[in-house]
Amino acid sequence: MWAIYFQLKMNSKKKTLKTKHTSKFKYLAATLFVGILLYAFVNSIIADILIKKSGQCVKAYIYKETSGGRTSPDFGYRFYVDSKTYNGLMSRNEVNKVGDNICIVYYIGFPDFNRSINYFDKGQLSCDCR
């Protein structure tokens, strides 16, 4: 009799532990998902607004071409601000190739927010870094 009670009690504890681990995993997955969405929002919409408002132009150079895989091919570019190196990506086009210099705009307060000048419509930003 005690053996059956003990067995039922142990099975109940195992289920409780599984439920706790499952709920922790769901909480972690939801937090990660929200974090990714928040990062995407900040890096796209907010960064564009900040760059348009307080952007600084600088010359960069294209240092690599990525094949893209599931996305379109991109160019990787590098630029320097205050002796630090920053990287960015831009869509590949017919005009540029690896080794070319391009003009990019970065947010003064956070240079990791940067875009190629070609990303913006003509007239939105004016740069003279050629």
- Quote the DSSP letter at residue 68: -
> What phi-psi label fits residue 81: left (phi over 0), alpha (psi between -120 and 50 degrees) or beta?
beta
Q: What is the pLDDT of residue 20?
A: 60
Q: What is the pLDDT of residue 110?
A: 92
Query: Would you report the helix, strand and coil content of the chain in percent, each value rounded to 5?
Result: 45, 35, 25
Q: Which residue has the higher pLDDT, 129 or 47?
A: 47
Q: How confident is the model at residue 68 (pLDDT cuts 50, 70, 90)?
A: low
What six digits make up the tokens of 67?
Answer: 């094949």
Q: What confidence tens digit (pLDDT) does each residue in 99-121 have?
A: 899 999 999 999 999 998 888 77
Mean pLDDT on 56-83: 86
Rounded-to-integer distance, Cα 18 and Cα 7, Å: 17
Q: What is the pLDDT of residue 78?
A: 96
Q: What confidence tens digit (pLDDT) does each residue in 9-59 have?
A: 555 555 554 556 678 888 888 899 998 888 887 777 888 888 888 888 999
Q: Quick check: 5 pLDDT over 80?
A: no
The domain ranges of the chain are 1-130
Mean pLDDT on 67-96: 85
Q: Where are the alpha helices (DSSP H) in 1-130?
A: 2-41, 47-54
Calculate the dihedral angle through the C-alpha atoms of 4, 7, 11, 12, rounding to the nearest 10 degrees. 60
Q: What is the pLDDT of residue 60?
A: 94
Q: What is the pLDDT of residue 43?
A: 72
